[in-house]
Structures are given as structure tokens and as C-alpha cells.
Amino acid sequence: MKIAISSTGQKPESDIDPRFGRCKYFLVVDTDTREFEAFLNENAEAMGGAGIKAAQFVADLNVKAILTGNIGPNAFETLNAAGIEILTGVEATVNDAVEDYKEGKLKRAQAFTVESHSGMGQGRQRGRQ
């Protein structure tokens, strides 16, 4: 089965990126063979709509689940509508997260875990200098 994971790097030894829509990479891993493919998240620097665009990209990869740290409301709704299982609160390397997923140790998200635009960083929020 293929799953996607938000990652800070292009290798299975990389850490999970806690941001979904603005993660650096998505790694797609076959949980049976451990074969993987890394995809640069071209939406990470988008001015707006990064979560929705990233969710649409992940849905087009035909994965069963996404493993990430946090997810905003728009990305959550988009992935949910696509029938993709969303697992949040993941803090590990990609390899460890895959093992935890296979062992049923990860928790399925019932709702979004952060507000819109939370991955944009400090000082970029409306009204702040």
C-alpha cells in the first residue's frame, strides 16, 4: 500500500516535516516493499492556498494515507473528501513513521490540528510586522 509522508528531506532517514501544506517534500512509500519516491512540494512557498494545493497533489498520487505533524482545515477537508486517511501528531523519521503506521501506533485525525496559514511562520501573519 502506498502512503505519503510530509518530510524535511528526500530520504527515508529524513525527519517528518510538522507542516503539511508547506513541507519541503512528500515521500511516497510502499509499506510492503519499502520502495519510495520523493516529490518536491512546489506549493511550499505559495502566497496562499498551499494546503489545498498540496492536498490536491497528494490526492493525485493515489495514496491511502498521509502522515504529518499538523494539518489545516482546508487541506483536511480536501484530503478527507478524497478518501485519504489523515494521521497527525507524527514526530519521527520517515522510516520510523512507516513502522509506526504498519503497527497501528499512529492516531487518525478527526479534525484539523492548526488554523489556516499557521505554517507561514512568525511575523508574516496579518497585522504583524
Phi, psi (rounded to 5 degrees) for 58: -65, -40
CATH class of 2-120: alpha beta
> pLDDT tens-digit profile of 92-102?
999 999 999 99
The rounded distance, in Å, linking the Cα atoms of 30 and 70 is: 22
The per-residue pLDDT for 123 is 32
Express as a percent the part of the chain with pLDDT over 70.
Answer: 89
Q: How confident is the model at residue 47 (pLDDT cuts 50, 70, 90)?
A: confident
Q: Where are the beta strands (DSSP E) in the chain?
A: 2-7, 25-30, 36-40, 65-67, 85-87
The DSSP code for 69 is S
pTM value is 0.86
What cell numbers appear for 116 in the block?
A: 489556516
Specify the pLDDT at position 49. 87
